[in-house]
Structure 1
Amino acid sequence: MSDIQIINTDSNNSLTTAIDNLDSNEDIREISAATSSTNLINWGTVSLAWENLSYSIKNRKIVENASGVVKPGECMAILGPSGAGKSTLLDLLAGRKDHKNVSGQIYLNGRPGQIKYVSTYVMQEDAIMEVLTVRENIQFAADLCFPASYSDAERRTRVQDIITEFGLDRVADSKIGSMFIRGVSGGEKRRASIATQVITLPKIIFLDEPTTGLDSAASYNVMKAILQMTQKHKLTVIASIHQPSTETYSLFDKLCILGRGRTLYLGGREEAIRYFENLGHKVPNNSNPADHFLDLINSDFLTDKADAEKYLSEFVNGFEGSEAYEVMKSEINNLIEKHKGDRDTRKISSKTTERYQQSFMRQTYILIIRCFKNALRNILLFWSRVILYVCLGLLMGTAWWKVGFHQTSIFERLTTLYFSIAFLSFMSTAGIPGFLEERYLFQRERANRFYSVGPYVLANTLVSIPFICIITISFACVMYPTVELHSGFDRVAIFTGILFLSLLAAESMVVLIASIFPQFISALCMAAFFNGFWMMSAGYIVRPPDIPAGWKWAHYMDYQKYAYEAIIYNDLSGLTFNCEKLSNETGGGIKQYNCYYGDKSGSSAQFSGEDVLRDLGYDSVKIWLWAIMLVVIMIVCRILFYIILRVRRAPS
């Protein structure tokens, strides 16, 4: 099956070379090169046409021989029952499907072209930070998407313009809203989400069911805002839509009606009524034409597959022999013919060099500011954990209140220190919901070329540091003095620092797992499993000498091992513990003692913390080296996190 025709955009031409009108005879390579970024404001208009477009998986045709054209200023709706191929056709036109399974041609102004640099794809789920205001969300999008040559005043002006265009002035400074924050309505949230993705006025906009989950009034307002923007800026808009109301239906200029992947009609909205009437299927009075068409072509309830196929084939054959089909083919041919003499329209490689409007450092800076605001306001990310850790510190302080320096306190000290590392690390899973929400937004923005993976990973890492520091200090301030561990500022500082590094490593592991398993339940289960695994191999539940040889590798890879051993050494070294005094004495009146560690002859009343460390096998611990190991594990997890995001595409 032949690949869809596309064109390379490796050229480094400046945006200033972008032409004012794409209907001129400039080479399509210059067009693509001039727009290998998200700033398309100064572009001219773009017509989108497709011819004999097909897509199949395992010999099953999902879309078959689809053809059509949408011109600047037009808004086309893709209608069809569930499973008709609406979203698939939209993905094909947007270049979001594997070319190995695609055949046919897509034309930009009559010539093959790289569509992703002139378009934006808006998913049906809202991709927006709920704790930021409408204005802040749109402003951050503008800061990322507009060239560095744009002044702050120009960006703010454009942000205000699109707020007005989408009817969001009244709620511009209101937070979007979440389960903890009262915010804007569903329709306003949807309009704000779309506004952040079309801030650069891309010449082609694809919308996947933009009115899903909205009532008829909100759906109408969303589509009205899109239509007004389409007409004002001469954009080309294609939207898949499911059962639009009469009012929403009336906003579209064109219809593409699909049935099991085949085109049953493509043409003007008003002409569709006359077309189906000529086929003997008149739209009843006072009824919604869209509902009538969907009821008419829905063959899902025909029990005989042959009858269903025959029923749809009649519509397909009827359309291919109609005047509407001839008009569509004529429009496509006219676009191609107009540019027939243009030089070099041959197919070349699809590989492109992605370019972004902002430098790596500028992207990182903007994302740090946004991530910091999100973390500061989003209780799910860190603040819920601050509360949890403080409560846990109080529980530990009351359970192991002033453990003292009797030899029986050693077990309590070891348990307290292990609990501090293991369970605080385990509670890092509380940050999964907030991270998954942020990751979903990252996928959408990366797909629309707002920024690259590196700045996002760096910003995510840097922003987490101060909040994890707050979490660590909050816990240490409550737990350390109540348990009465080894006193001294240096000891407290080392304990807090090691715990901080341990939580950084745990956080890095959690975001890595959540990047591999994007669903909340699966991410939570896997994070819990790996935390439990590291708890088992840390050296407390099973002592290092007793760990089976086949699992030794896990012990040395375990970040909890290094944290646990470091804070044990920090607490026990330099301390002196009292042995248990026995009731009986020797004949000479010499007192006898039972010591768990150190000199066990019975004559010594005390032993040192070093004796305990030696007996446990931790006397060779070097705190600075163990701290470095925690940093290395954290960095490795972050690098793997980057690689996973780099190689994994956002779901279509």
Structure 2
Amino acid sequence: MSSYQDSDSLPPRSEAGLAGFSNPGLELGEGECERAGVEDKMEGFHLDRTTGASAGQAESQKRRGLAVRFRGVEVEIQGRQILRDVAGTVLPGELLALMGPSGSGKTTLLSVLTGRIQAKSGQVTLDSQPLTKNLRRMLCYVMQQDIFFPNLTVKDTLMCQAHLRLPDSVTFAEKEKIISVLVEELGIKKCLNTIVGNDFVRGVSGGERKRVNIACELLTDPSVMLLDEPTSGLDSSTSHSLIATLKHYAVKHQKTIISSIHQPSSLIFHMFDKLLLMSDGEVAYYGQASRIVDFFADLGMPCTPHENPADYMLDKVKESPEVRQDIVDYSNKFRVSSVECPLLSKDETNTHLQSMAGELSEVKIAGADGEGAGAELEEVESPQWASSFWMQLRTLTARNFKQQRPQILSLINVIKTLVTAIVPGLIWFQVPREEDQVKARAGMLFHLVLYWFITPIFRTLPSYPAERPIINKERLAGSYRLSAYFLAKVLSELPLAIPQLLVHITISFWLTGLNGAGAYFADMGIIALSTFTSEALGLLISVVFLRMDQTMAFSTSLIVLTVLLGGFYIQKLPFWLAWLRYLAIILFSFHATLQLEFTDDASFRCASQSFSPHCAAAHLNNPNETAYIPAQEILDQFIIPLPVWGNILVLVLYMLAFRVATYLVLRFVRIPGK
């Protein structure tokens, strides 16, 4: 037997089930149990997240780390066993590395620890209390993808999260102070006024974006932080700096940090206190990270001095099924319950959780329904949302406006608006008010309503798919109500369309010489309503069909049918198809603009070869006098069944129907995490 095994004298695993387990070498170092009781000594400003009180007023409510214990965790998804009897313990001030080959179950375990996935069996506890919805609010989860709105600055992004995830009682100045402390500690102060960016928009670097992601989660001062491969996509220097920052944060503030990580460098690997190595859903090693080399040496698989232990152990668990099973079996032989040291005595644990009960009733971090955590927390009612509906609505509206403004009001869109207004205006320039030009005037109106039907749809189609990952992340975190997000999206995008609409209609209207100032303002309102209805339809399509190829195929087909049925090309349909024309939204806006244009009986001169009965009779009775075709005869050519107000009402009903349908799809179909 090797000296590694002899030095620990670890007994075999109990058959009755254990409170926890470890691999060889997991025995806690001197002072580790005591470390769990250390208070958070955050230097500088400290703000109580519950009431917004200053440090002096909230000294007794500073949040420290919690011991995370999980044992016997098993997960089965669609008949496939993903996790098998996984267990471990992480104490405040510790940094645990969760490692293993791709598909070994690392992300699944993180999802179980955050409560996002329900385990088939096993238990997860925080300071010996079962993980409930209330206690989940003490955790944060940093996803692997750093997904943000690219056009927002780092400061805008953090302030938005502060408004959403901190109580309204925390003042703006206090939120700024919290952000100032975080960015200083995470080393991103210099890029506060730089846009976040993404793969297509230049912004902060990948490492800085990852730190912004972490800062967003630290705003609520969580006791436990879980990270999914935070170094993914970063270079070795940036990765080392990031893990060093996390290590410093864990020790300085006595926070519990669990992070999955893929192939770290030797320097990074040795920053971790503990290691949980997984293979095919099972534990291959759990213990002190510094003793992994001894573990494999005992197995007869010595790691050479110049080899990276992290790379070596990953190669071994991937080597062959037989080798993998030998490692897992050897690990299972030495599971012990001795790791479950008296981190906190039962009385100390109960006292600590009782002190947190008041905080849990105020710290409204994430979409839970207020369940208690054990006897101490059963009577504590936690509001479901951190901020009020109006704060959420105001914040999300401002955020969406800032994100969409550079795109909608970009130079290319300004040029497009001017060109598509001036060119048709010149084509229909000052159309004569004569009977044989009625069709041309109607064509101009049809062009206007068709343009403002197509443009909003194609502008809106990519909107939801592009922001869906961000929205899903925030909804999973319980950052805001779905109703607040939906209403904010509607309100923020409406004013952005108005400047383009105003410029386009104004140029087109006066170049073509349409029917006076009264008709101009009325047409503006009707086409604006049609635009808002088209936006609602476009958003519904984008929510129903998430793939862009599907949305484009459906939208193109819809537009072609709408053009055919819009009332300009075809006025009469077979009786068994007549109902289809009422599905064309532009039919109603086109009819309303026609009714506003052709209102004056003395406006359009009769043609010499008129098809109008009135004009024919006028020429016959007074051949030398100028005759005018009645407006109603013009409108009769287009078969308009509804008055102006009726067409407006139909547009309003369509818009409301599309909005309600979109909300219902988001609420009951596009559920985050499913």
Moved more, 514-523 or 279-288: 514-523
The one of 556, 562, 568 aligned to 2:582: 556
**Conservation of the 8 A alpha-carbon contact between 1:380 and 1:431:** no
Report what 1:311 is aligned to: 323
Aligned ranges 1:318-467 → 2 under 5 Å:
318-322=330-334, 325-326=335-336, 329-332=337-340, 338=346, 345=374, 355-376=384-405, 378-379=406-407, 385-428=413-456, 429-467=458-496
Report what 2:238 is aligned to: 218
Distance 1:340 1:600, change over 3 A: farther
Aligned ranges 1:244-255 → 2 under 5 Å:
244-255=264-275
Secondary structure of 1:611's counterpart equals helix
In the aligned structure 1, how far is the partner of 2:453 from the partner of 2:245? 47
In the aligned structure 1, how far is the partner of 2:564 from the partner of 2:228? 47
Moved more, 532-541 or 490-499: 532-541
**Conservation of the 8 A alpha-carbon contact between 2:74 and 2:84:** yes
2:633 corresponds to 1:611: yes
Distance 1:494 1:595, change over 3 A: same
In the aligned structure 2, how far is the partner of 1:110 from the partner of 1:551? 69
**Conservation of the 8 A alpha-carbon contact between 1:597 and 1:615:** no
**Conservation of the 8 A alpha-carbon contact between 2:75 and 2:81:** yes
**Conservation of the 8 A alpha-carbon contact between 2:113 and 2:124:** yes
Report what 1:484 is aligned to: 513
Report what 2:157 is aligned to: 137
Distance 1:57 1:47, change over 3 A: same
The one of 605, 608, 614 aligned to 1:578: 605
**Conservation of the 8 A alpha-carbon contact between 1:36 and 1:354:** no
In the aligned structure 2, how far is the partner of 1:560 from the partner of 1:107? 59
Q: Post-superposition shift, 1:558? A: 3.9
**Conservation of the 8 A alpha-carbon contact between 1:563 and 1:630:** yes
Q: Which residue identity lines up with residue 577 of structure 1 in the other structure?
A: F
2:258 corresponds to 1:238: yes
Q: Which residue identity lines up with residue 460 of structure 1 in the other structure?
A: K
Q: Post-superposition shift, 1:515? A: 2.5
Moved more, 367-376 or 178-187: 178-187
**Conservation of the 8 A alpha-carbon contact between 1:76 and 1:237:** yes
- Residues 556-591 of structure 1 deviation map (CA, whole Å, 9 limit, x = unaligned): 34432221221121222226333442xxxxxxxxxx
Q: Post-superposition shift, 1:501? A: 0.9
Report what 2:503 is aligned to: 474
In the aligned structure 2, how far is the partner of 1:412 from the partner of 1:207? 64
Q: Which residue identity lines up with residue 578 of structure 1 in the other structure?
A: R
In the aligned structure 1, how far is the partner of 2:49 from the partner of 2:190? 34
Report what 1:11 is aligned to: none
**Conservation of the 8 A alpha-carbon contact between 1:436 and 1:514:** yes
Moved more, 246-255 or 288-297: 246-255
**Conservation of the 8 A alpha-carbon contact between 1:46 and 1:108:** yes
In the aligned structure 1, how far is the partner of 2:158 from the partner of 2:428? 51
Secondary structure of 1:131's counterpart equals coil
2:531 corresponds to 1:513: no
Secondary structure of 1:292's counterpart equals helix
Q: Post-superposition shift, 1:256? A: 1.5
**Conservation of the 8 A alpha-carbon contact between 1:569 and 1:621:** no
The one of 125, 130, 153 aligned to 1:112: 130
Report what 1:12 is aligned to: none
Distance 1:638 1:116, change over 3 A: farther
Q: Post-superposition shift, 1:159? A: 0.5
In the aligned structure 1, how far is the partner of 2:478 from the partner of 2:577? 46
Distance 1:424 1:388, change over 3 A: farther
2:104 corresponds to 1:84: yes
Q: Post-superposition shift, 1:63? A: 1.5
**Conservation of the 8 A alpha-carbon contact between 1:110 and 1:332:** no
Distance 1:107 1:466, change over 3 A: same
**Conservation of the 8 A alpha-carbon contact between 1:381 and 1:431:** no
Q: Post-superposition shift, 1:442? A: 2.4
2:660 corresponds to 1:639: yes
Backbone CA RMSD of aligned residues: 3.4
* Unpaired segments ≥5 residues, structure 2: 1-34, 39-47, 355-372, 621-626
Report what 1:293 is aligned to: 313
Distance 1:227 1:527, change over 3 A: farther
- Residues 254-292 of structure 1 deviation map (CA, whole Å, 9 limit, x = unaligned): 222111111111222112222122112222232222111
Secondary structure of 1:356's counterpart equals coil
Report what 1:59 is aligned to: 79
In the aligned structure 2, how far is the partner of 1:336 from the partner of 1:525? 61
Q: Which residue identity lines up with residue 639 of structure 1 in the other structure?
A: V
Q: Which residue identity lines up with residue 476 of structure 1 in the other structure?
A: I
* Unpaired segments ≥5 residues, structure 1: 1-20, 25-33, 303-307, 582-592
Secondary structure of 2:619's counterpart equals coil
Aligned ranges 1:532-571 → 2 under 5 Å:
532-543=560-571, 545-546=572-573, 549=576, 552=579, 554-571=580-597
In the aligned structure 2, how far is the partner of 1:230 from the partner of 1:521? 46
Name the TM-score, length of structure 2 as normaliser: 0.80
**Conservation of the 8 A alpha-carbon contact between 1:598 and 1:612:** no
In the aligned structure 2, how far is the partner of 1:128 from the partner of 1:69? 32
In the aligned structure 1, how far is the partner of 2:244 from the partner of 2:67? 21
2:610 corresponds to 1:594: yes
Moved more, 54-63 or 404-413: 404-413
Distance 1:433 1:198, change over 3 A: farther
Report what 1:27 is aligned to: none
In the aligned structure 2, how far is the partner of 1:66 from the partner of 1:630? 58
Q: Which residue identity lines up with residue 451 of structure 2 in the other structure?
A: F
Q: Post-superposition shift, 1:177? A: 3.0
Q: Post-superposition shift, 1:420? A: 1.9
Distance 1:566 1:203, change over 3 A: same
The one of 146, 156, 162 aligned to 2:166: 146
Distance 1:513 1:221, change over 3 A: farther
Q: Post-superposition shift, 1:61? A: 0.8
Report what 1:649 is aligned to: 671
- Residues 300-349 of structure 1 deviation map (CA, whole Å, 9 limit, x = unaligned): xx5xxxxx2x4322221110112xx32xx433585798489979959x99
Distance 1:612 1:104, change over 3 A: same
Report what 1:102 is aligned to: 120
In the aligned structure 1, how far is the partner of 2:199 from the partner of 2:655? 32
In the aligned structure 2, how far is the partner of 1:597 from the partner of 1:395? 36
Q: Post-superposition shift, 1:224? A: 2.5
Q: Post-superposition shift, 1:641? A: 2.5
In the aligned structure 1, how far is the partner of 2:393 from the partner of 2:628? 56
2:191 corresponds to 1:171: yes
**Conservation of the 8 A alpha-carbon contact between 2:463 and 2:542:** no
Q: Post-superposition shift, 1:649? A: 2.4
In the aligned structure 1, how far is the partner of 2:189 from the partner of 2:120? 43
**Conservation of the 8 A alpha-carbon contact between 1:134 and 1:174:** yes
Alignment length (residue pairs):
591
Distance 1:426 1:314, change over 3 A: same
- Residues 456-502 of structure 1 deviation map (CA, whole Å, 9 limit, x = unaligned): 1121111112112112102112211222222x211011111111111
**Conservation of the 8 A alpha-carbon contact between 1:385 and 1:430:** no
**Conservation of the 8 A alpha-carbon contact between 1:53 and 1:102:** yes
Q: Post-superposition shift, 1:79? A: 1.3
